[in-house]
């Protein structure tokens, strides 16, 4: 009787221990991720994936969604605050491969090499890649359903743009010569590997200097003039500060000057590979379409 009592007591204690372990395990597994993003657009991607409430640190100039206002700023374009990142105890750090200096990435990899913290890289080169990034991040955060919904919405909007501007391209097959200026001094542009190259192509443009080896090549004014762009775009961070176009507008023989086609686009809607890039894409497409329509009106 005594032995059976002891056996029953041990069994009860083991059952309680297993139950306790199960509760602890479930609590740990259900713990909400703590996410840090190293570029502004990634906070937007996390939000689209359904994880904005999981953000605990963001980069400088992150402004979407509004719920991230007041979060610790842990990086900018030149540096990261490794000590502050460490204190925030992130479970996931998301960075942009092409937009985060390698020195920063290596420092993070080295510091978190033997910890539970995961690093996730993104490097969108096509508009479709933005939808894929939303889905990947949603999977990492456990918000797959919301992420798939957002990704599908993005794809549908993108398809509408392709249909709208693709049909307009049929009326005039020759693409519009486009120069995308990211900086005036020194004069810099982008090659076709950049996401903006995909945008120009979607809009029916021919991207000048698309075949340059560097993602962000430096070019000279004479080579741009020789290529004779029909339209020139640039991104602006502050709409109150107007771009000085005199370098180009002072050349009356330049096609872009003849077309009065010097176009500023809000940097948040063209330089950030997030869902709102489709706003900038549509503005770019509208501007290129106007050039095509002008051509058509002058055609014999």
Joined tokens for residue 83: 């000590």
Domains, in order of start, for the chain: 35-149 (3.40.50.1980), 173-298 (3.40.50.1980)
Average pLDDT of span 14-42: 63
Report cis status (omega within 30 of 0) of the bond before 294.
Answer: no
**Residue 2: what pLDDT?**
42
pLDDT one-digit tens code per residue, 194-213? 999 999 999 999 999 999 99
DSSP state of 183: B
232 DSSP β-pair partners: 179, 262
User: Is 274 strand, coil or helix?
Assistant: coil
Average pLDDT of span 25-31: 46
Backbone φ and ψ for 95, nearest 5 degrees, come out as -135, 160
Write the CB contacts of 102 (distance below 8 Å, at least 6 apart in sequence).
none
pLDDT of residue 153 exceeding 90: yes
pTM for this entry: 0.86
């Amino acid at each position: 009787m005594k032995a059976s009592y002891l056996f029953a007591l041990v069994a009860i204690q083991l059952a309680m221990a297993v139950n306790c372990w199960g509760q602890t395990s479930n609590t740990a597994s259900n713990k909400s991720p703590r996410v840090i993003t190293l570029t502004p657009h990634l906070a937007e991607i996390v939000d689209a994936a359904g994880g904005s409430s999981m953000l605990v640190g963001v980069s400088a100039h992150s402004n979407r969604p509004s719920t991230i206002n007041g979060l610790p700023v842990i990086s900018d374009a030149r540096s990261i605050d490794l000590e502050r990142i460490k204190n925030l105890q992130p479970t996931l750090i998301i960075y942009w491969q092409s937009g985060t200096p390698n020195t920063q990435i290596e420092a993070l990899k080295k510091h978190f090499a033997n910890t539970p913290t995961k690093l996730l890289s993104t490097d969108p080169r096509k508009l479709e890649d933005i939808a894929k990034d939303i889905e990947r991040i949603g999977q990492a955060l456990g918000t797959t359903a919301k992420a798939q919904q957002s990704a599908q919405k993005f794809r549908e909007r993108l398809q509408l743009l392709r249909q709208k501007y693709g049909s307009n391209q049929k009326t005039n097959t020759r693409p519009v010569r486009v120069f995308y200026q990211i900086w005036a001094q020194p004069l810099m542009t982008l090659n076709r590997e950049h996401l903006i190259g995909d945008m120009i192509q979607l809009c029916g443009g021919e991207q000048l200097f698309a075949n340059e080896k560097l993602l962000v090549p430096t070019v000279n004014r004479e080579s741009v003039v020789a290529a004779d762009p029909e339209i020139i775009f640039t991104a602006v961070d502050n709409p109150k500060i107007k771009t000085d176009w005199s370098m180009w507008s002072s050349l009356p023989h330049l096609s872009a000057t003849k077309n009065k086609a010097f176009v500023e686009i809000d940097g948040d809607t063209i330089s950030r590979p997030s869902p709102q890039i489709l706003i900038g894409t549509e503005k770019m497409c509208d501007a290129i379409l106007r050039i095509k329509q002008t051509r058509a009106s002058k055609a014999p």
